Amino acid sequence: MHTIEPYFNWRNLYMAEEDERSPFYGREYSEVYFTDAIYDHYIHPQWDNIGSTTLFIKLLYADYDDGFAVIELLGEWNDTLHNDIMTLKRDFVDHLIDEGIQKFILVGDSVLNFHSSDDSYYEEWYEDIDDGWIALLNFRDHVLKDFAEVGIDNYFISGGPLNDFNWGSFRPLQLFQKVEALVERRFDTGFLLEEGNEEEE
């Protein structure tokens, strides 16, 4: 697990530690010393610790003019033991919302498992972003299934093309525009984003 790095091809465009409006402003990172671990597996030091022992994140990009952020996640999303959603919402998401972020793209390629509790913080996040949205990219099928089983999927946009999205091939604004188009299509049609579900002309 220590070899899994956060996506780094946008670092010439944005670094959260240099963004005065970022919750990670001023952080310093080591390329040598591994200090954080998920269970007994050390993780790459470029990931950000938000106070959870199992879920780590990286703010890959924040655009305050267009009001969106791209966030990559690593580990186990565990609300049962650690209330990870409370930690994520209170210590990270609320800060971005206060700075004008209303649209969140969560990249879940490296989220291994999900363990649920209640949905209060998901509902709060959803209500706090007015006309915004939270889109899930490339979350594993069993994780999405676990979200659905407890109704948390109601607060996210997911499914279809968002489940297998080559997001790293885009620059941040291009990615946002692609995802927003899919989100708007879902809202316009009222259907889930399922492959092969084409709009009628």
Asked whether residue 2 is domain-assigned, the answer is no
Q: Rounded mean pLDDT of 33-47? A: 90
pLDDT band at 200 (very low <50, low <70, confident <90, very high): very low
- Within 8 A by CB and 6+ apart from 75, the residues are 38, 43, 52, 54, 55, 56, 110, 111, 112
- Residue 102 in any domain: the answer is yes
61 in a structural domain = yes
Q: In the chain, what is the straight-line distance between the N-terminal and C-terminal CA atoms, in Å? A: 47
Q: Is residue 168 part of a domain?
A: yes
Q: What percent of the chain has pLDDT over 90?
A: 80
- Average pLDDT rounded to a whole number, residues 42-61: 95
Q: What is the pLDDT of residues 56-72, one digit of tens each?
A: 999 999 999 999 999 99
Is residue 7 included in any domain, yes or no?
no
CA atoms 47, 111, 7, 63: torsion sign: negative
* Residue 201 clears pLDDT 80, i.e. is over it: no
pLDDT at 61: 98
Residue 144 covered by a domain:
yes
Q: What is the pLDDT at residue 185? A: 86
CA 184 to CA 140: how far, in whole Å?
A: 23
Domains of the chain: total: 1
Whether residue 163 contacts residue 127, with contact meaning beta carbons closer than 8 Å, is answered with no
Distance CA 99, CA 59 (A): 14
Of 53, 45, 96, residue with least CA distance to 77: 53
List 135's β-bridge partners, or say none: 105, 157
Buried b vs exposed e over 139-148: b needs ≥16 C-beta within 10 Å?
bbeebbebbe
Quick check: 104 pLDDT over 50?
Answer: yes
What are the pLDDT digits (tens) for 170-191?
999 999 999 999 999 877 755 4
Q: What is the extent of the structural domain holding 185?
A: 16-189
Distance CA(128)–CA(91), nearest Å, equals: 15
Confidence of residue 30 (pLDDT cuts 50, 70, 90): confident
The reply to whether 139 falls in a domain is yes
> What is the pLDDT, as a whole number, of residue 73?
98
- CATH at residue 132: 3.30.750.24
**Residue 104 located in a structural domain:** yes
Residues, the chain, total?
201
